[in-house]
Amino acid sequence: MKSLKNIIYFILISRVFYCLFAIFVYSKFSQLGDTSGYLEGAYLYRNDFTSTAYLMSLIGSTLGNFGSALLSILISTFSIVFLYLKLEPYLSSNGRRFFLFITITPSFGMWTSVYSKECILLLFFSLAVGLLIDLCERKKISLIRLVIVFAIVTFMKPHYSISLYLTLLVIYLDRSGVEGLYLLVLTIICSALACFFAWYLSDTVYEYTQLLSNSYFVNGASTRENDFWLEQYDFFLYAPVGIVKSFIGPTLFEAVNRIMFMPYFLEGLFIFTSLVVFSYKSVFYKNKLNVFHLAIFLSFTLVLIFSHYPVGIMNPGSSIRYRSGFVFPMICFILFIASNKYRCIAGRKD
């Protein structure tokens, strides 16, 4: 219990530090996303409850600067502690250190400690991952809670929510007895159909990419020149490079030329490397393929980072901000799946 209290204090203090750092230091060099607009009620003119910007402005302008900062700190702290309690039985001492280290990485620490969509997304994505962990542990969950949490994530970031629904389907199939070769074949068929469907909609995808490159981030100081989506199929052909580039955020060259990006480049590189290592560890255990974990990798990890690709590739600053809303719960779920203790408790044959 004493250890848990120390961890809570550590997380809370780190949230307060990052909140103060963002407000009094970072904001002097770069804009804090839409935070100031939310606090000033800049989007209240929309008067539309289906607009996330309107709702953020409504809450932010009502609570004021101090109230919004306090709310963000509490939400961020709760989300991290919630996932820690879910993972704690499966974490080794090194795993616990890794968990705590991720919580104090620069972009995640800052963007989830100020009043932002990323902070709110962190809360509900963490709750969603908690439900997925419970399902993997074969625990009973509340269907109403599942529907509400998934619906809110869908409302906020529909492209990120796809990974949750696909992973839910994989877990349901596994719990229904579809495993081994049958699950592998079904996973391959679904993946192939998804690729074919995406390729079939290449015209629509191309129009979307041109809309992104011509209408968004055009005034951003770090916006990249669109020299990667020029032809109809470039979105798919550039994807292997674009997925990695958009997830990490700034490249080494961009970080060298704009030194403020260096901590975020190192953070992105570290997180991406950790993602690859733990994903490999989960899929291949003692040199044997775990089909269920492979299906989880395809439906959760790969879909999530692919969903981030179109919104993260254009601007490295926006990439690290958008990423911060889901990256911590994502790493936690992968860490859970890769845990040896989880394998033993689940009783799966690897």
**Quick check: 327 and 109 in contact, CB under 8 A?**
no
How far is Cα 48 from Cα 46, in angstroms, rounded to an integer? 5
Q: pLDDT by residue (tens digit) across 29-48? A: 777 778 888 988 888 888 88
pLDDT of 288 reads 82
DSSP run (H or E) holding 285:
strand 284-285
Rounded to 10°, the helix 2-24/52-87 angle is 150
Positions of the chain with pLDDT lower than 70, given as ranges: 1-2, 179, 197-208, 210-222, 340-350
pLDDT of 220 reads 53
One-letter amino acid of 65: N
| DSSP type of residue 297 | I
How far is Cα 110 from Cα 121, in angstroms, rounded to an integer? 14
**Quick check: 160 and 326 in contact, CB under 8 A?**
yes
**Quick check: 120 and 156 in contact, CB under 8 A?**
yes
3-state percent breakdown (helix, strand, coil) of the chain, nearest 5: 75, 0, 20
Q: 3-state DSSP call for residue 343?
A: helix
How far is Cα 169 from Cα 19, in angstroms, rounded to an integer? 37
What residues are paired with 288 via a beta bridge? 285
Q: Is 26 exposed, middle or buried (0-12, 13-18, 19+ CB in 10 A)?
A: middle
How far is Cα 29 from Cα 124, in angstroms, rounded to an integer? 30
